[in-house]
Amino acid sequence: MKNDGFFKLAVIVGVISWMAIFAFVPNILVFLASFSSTSTQNFIEPGFSLSNYARLMDTTHLSILLSSLRLSGLVTVICLVTAYPFAAILARTRKPLRNTLLLLVVIPFWTNSLVRTYAMTAMINSSGIVNNVLLSLGIIDTPLAMMYTPGAVVLGLVYTLLPFMILPLYAALERLDRRYLEAARDLGASPWRAFWKVVVPLTMPGIVSGCMLVFLPGIGMFYVSDVLGGAKAMLLGNFIRDQFLTTRDWPLGAAASVTLTVLMGVMLLLYWKSAARLGGKEA
Amino acid sequence: MKRLVLTVLSLMLATQVLAASKELYVYNWSEYMPDSVLADFTKETGVKVIMSTYDSNEALYAKIRMVEAKGYDLIVPSTDFVARMHKEGLLMPLDKGKLTNLSNLDPKLMNQAFDPDNTYSVPYMWGSTAIAVNTKDPAAAAITSYADLWKPELKGKLLLPNDMRGVLGMGLKRLGYSLNETDPVKVAEACELLLPLMESVRVFDSDSPKQALLNNEVQAAVLWNGEAYIASGENPDIRYVYPAEGFSLWVDNLCIPKNAANVDNAHLFIDYLLRPEVAAFICQEMGYSSPNLAAQALLPEDVRDNAIVYPAPEDMALGEFETDLGPAVKAYEECWMRLKTR
């Protein structure tokens, strides 16, 4: 018993100090940096001003933010639409096969995602596999220009982030109590209606966490835009990286990063508020 | 139990110490040093080389500042950044007594204003930034100057370096200014000129621009000569053009960061790189020009006479070396952000 308590304490202290050192403190530093200014001697001059946020509000910076949100939104929708049926089938598959399928979802993580992004170029460049197949089948005469386009960035992001959508959806769908569906059928709901009124609300936590896990990295994965988009399509992640590495305007980069965090926080809050209200009504 | 723990701990410490004296952390440009050079060095000296890479001086500089010149034992900044990093106390003076092969280097490239007496740096390789074209494409084959890149026929067929000085230098040269222009008005003028060119750019790449050229994704590419050398070796249709307005020359230098841990190994490796046969091998593999006179003598004729590796004197006369911009770099950075976020 005594040992049990010690183990518990050790785990809790371990987790809390891990989070404090690697998540909380760095975020506080970024937050503080976003109010500072920069000089030639130091990347960060301590102080307090809102000028970095004011600079973010100019039209070029806003247009980067908006186009990045749009791109990542599109990626999230594509991931959701493709992952949902997959996760539903997965949740209904019998044990040995299901484990194999789950393993197949996870296997890509064994390879570094940057390497997988480079592998993607071998698929879609002018002399790549896709073009060669299409050319030899006579479907096209000249190679399609797929590399270095916004579409290539979307493809790369969907490819990299899809498992992050599948896994939470699978967890939610697997827990779904089938008796609710039977009750819906008994009460005369069509399958379509049962899906929208029963399955979707019950799996909403999985949908939301999947969307969060795809949307936020989708804004930040600058190397996908560098490798597949030709370093032209600016994600907010590219902008932040450039502020830190190229122009060394750390306060502006920090302000952009804080803005993103706040944006995500607000979206989560809205979701919780609306979920609580809906839940309250039903009860 | 306690003794066992102590033994394990001291063993770990011992391996740490041993490992520390047998390692070398190199931070270098991507595609700038053949792997076999590292392997041969390890075979000869037992020192294990761990290499990581960067694609711009700015990234190198930000990283070295961030880690306070610790963690890496050897870096390869271009001249302008040697000056800046030494001014900011980020570099360690070299121990020339340990560099027995220093006399192999071309005196013309030594003792320059950015580092008098080569206190902090020795040149590794030098080269040019100019235009590689695929002559199969008529619009690309007709290119003789930077101004030609603005032609509408090249729209979507162009690769530019993902490098601030490289791109701004094109605009400044087209206007007849110096690559090292410090007048913000002239820099802004170059910026306006470059803005419409961004429409033509298919890709920005400083890591491996030859790939896009060889894969036929682009027909013209502003890149470093070593990339053009390798590309032209694989596809004879690829030619390297020194633009009529002039172009950029640069020298990359071996330096030791101020707080490096494996200083002796770094000197050992620098001296190894200065050996004529090693320098000649690197030059042949990478296609950049070697500052090593003894190595030049060892080069096969087709490399020594290759205009991509060693430009002819009349081309050389159009080249200009990049220098440190000082505070004027601010105007460059603002323009670069404008171009990239357009």
What's the half-sphere exposure (Cβ side, CA atoms, 13 Å) at B215? 25
**Domains in chain A: boundaries:** 59-282
Residues of B in contact with A148 (CB under 8 A): 202-203, 212, 217
Contact B327 A125 (CB under 8 A): no
List the structure tokens of B132: 């590689």
pLDDT on residue A102: 92
Angle at A108 between CA A107 and CA A113, to 5 degrees: 150
Parallel, antiparallel or unpaired: strands B48-54 and B23-29 = parallel
> Cα separations (Å) of B80 from B26, B121, B180?
20, 12, 10
Chain A, nearest residue to B159 by Cα = A230
B positions 158-187 inside 8 Å of A (CB): 162, 164
User: CB–CB of B129/B223 below 8 Å?
Assistant: yes
d(CA B279, CA B287): 11
d(CA B218, CA B158): 5
Architecture label for domain B2-126+251-304: 3-Layer(aba) Sandwich (3.40)
Contact A63 B336 (CB under 8 A): no
Give the count of beta carbons closer than 10 Å to the beta carbon of residue B5. 9
Instruction: Establish if B27 touches chain A: CB-CB under 8 angstroms.
Output: no
- How far off is chain B from A145, nearest CA to CA, in Å? 8
- CATH class entry, domain A59-282: mainly alpha
User: CB–CB of B166/B248 below 8 Å?
Assistant: yes
Q: Which of B202, B336, B337 sits opposite A230 (nearest CB)?
A: B202
**Which residue in B288, B178, B275, B298 sits closest to B224, CA to CA?**
B288
Residues paired with residue B24 on neighbouring β-strands, in sequence order: B49
Kindly report, residue by residue over A133-181, the tens digit of the pLDDT.
999 999 988 888 889 998 999 999 999 999 999 999 999 999 998 899 8
Contact B340 A60 (CB under 8 A): no
Contact B156 A232 (CB under 8 A): no
User: CB–CB of B235/B218 below 8 Å?
Assistant: no
Find which of B31, B67, B165, B203 to mutate to test the A interface (most A CBs within 10 Å of its CB): B203
**Domains in chain B: boundaries:** 2-126+251-304, 127-249+312-341
Both ends of chain A: CA-CA distance in Å?
Answer: 40
**Which residue in B247, B243, B248, B246 sits closest to B148, CA to CA?**
B243
Q: Which of A40, A125, A231 sits opposite B215 (nearest CB)?
A: A125
Contact B336 A145 (CB under 8 A): no
Residues of B in contact with A248 (CB under 8 A): 58, 61-62
d(CA B109, CA B167): 25
Q: Which of B65, B216, B340 sits opposite A234 (nearest CB)?
A: B340
pLDDT on residue B292: 95
Contact B217 A147 (CB under 8 A): yes
pLDDT above 60 for A122 = yes
- The DSSP code sequence of B159-174 is EE-S-HHHHHHHHHHH
d(CA A87, CA B250): 55
Q: How are the residues of chain A apportioned to helix, strand and coil, as percentages rounded to the nearest 5?
A: 80, 0, 20
Residues of A in contact with B338 (CB under 8 A): 60
Please report which confidence band the pLDDT of residue A281 belongs to, taking 50, 70 and 90 as the band edges. very low
Residues of A in contact with B337 (CB under 8 A): 60, 242, 247
The residue length of chain B stands at 342
Residues of A in contact with B327 (CB under 8 A): 40
Instruction: Establish if A129 touches chain B: CB-CB under 8 angstroms.
Output: no
**Which residue in A103, A98, A109, A86 sits closest to A165, CA to CA?**
A86
| Residue written as token pair 């997959």 | A86
Kindly report, residue by residue over A82-113, the tens digit of the pLDDT.
999 999 999 999 989 999 999 999 998 888 88
Contact B215 A126 (CB under 8 A): yes
B127-249+312-341 homologous superfamily: Periplasmic binding protein-like II (3.40.190.10)
User: CB–CB of B83/B115 below 8 Å?
Assistant: yes
The residue length of chain A stands at 283
**Which residue in A153, A15, A242, A274 sits closest to B62, CA to CA?**
A242
List the structure tokens of A264: 């995500």
**Which residue in B155, B115, B292 sits closest to A145, CA to CA?**
B155
CA B217, B218, B222, B228 torsion-angle sign: positive
Instruction: Establish if B327 touches chain A: CB-CB under 8 angstroms.
Output: yes
ipTM score over 0.85, yes or no:
no
- The DSSP code sequence of A227-247 is HHSTTTS--HHHHHHHHHHTS
Give the count of beta carbons closer than 10 Å to the beta carbon of residue B111. 11
pLDDT above 50 for A282 = no
d(CA B83, CA B61): 12
User: CB–CB of B110/B123 below 8 Å?
Assistant: yes
What's the half-sphere exposure (Cβ side, CA atoms, 13 Å) at A269? 6
Per-residue pLDDT of chain B (342 residues; tens, 9 = 90+): 455 555 555 555 555 545 557 899 999 999 999 999 999 999 999 999 999 999 889 889 999 988 888 999 999 999 989 999 999 999 999 999 999 999 999 998 898 888 999 999 999 999 999 999 999 999 999 999 999 999 999 999 999 998 889 999 999 999 999 999 999 999 999 999 999 999 999 999 988 899 999 999 999 999 999 999 999 999 999 999 999 999 999 999 999 999 999 999 999 999 999 999 999 999 999 999 999 999 999 999 989 889 999 999 899 999 998 888 888 988 998 899 889 877
Kindly report, residue by residue over A204-263, the tens digit of the pLDDT.
989 998 998 999 889 989 999 999 998 886 789 998 988 888 888 889 999 999 998 898
How high does pLDDT run on average in chain A? 88
Task: Say how many CB pairs under 8 Å bridge A and B.
Answer: 69
Angle at B41 between CA B40 and CA B42, to 5 degrees: 90
d(CA A194, CA A200): 9
pLDDT on residue B226: 94
Contact A247 B162 (CB under 8 A): no
Residues paired with residue B131 on neighbouring β-strands, in sequence order: B222, B241
What's the half-sphere exposure (Cβ side, CA atoms, 13 Å) at A163? 12
User: CB–CB of B49/B225 below 8 Å?
Assistant: no
pLDDT above 80 for A74 = yes
Radius of gyration of chain B (CA): 21
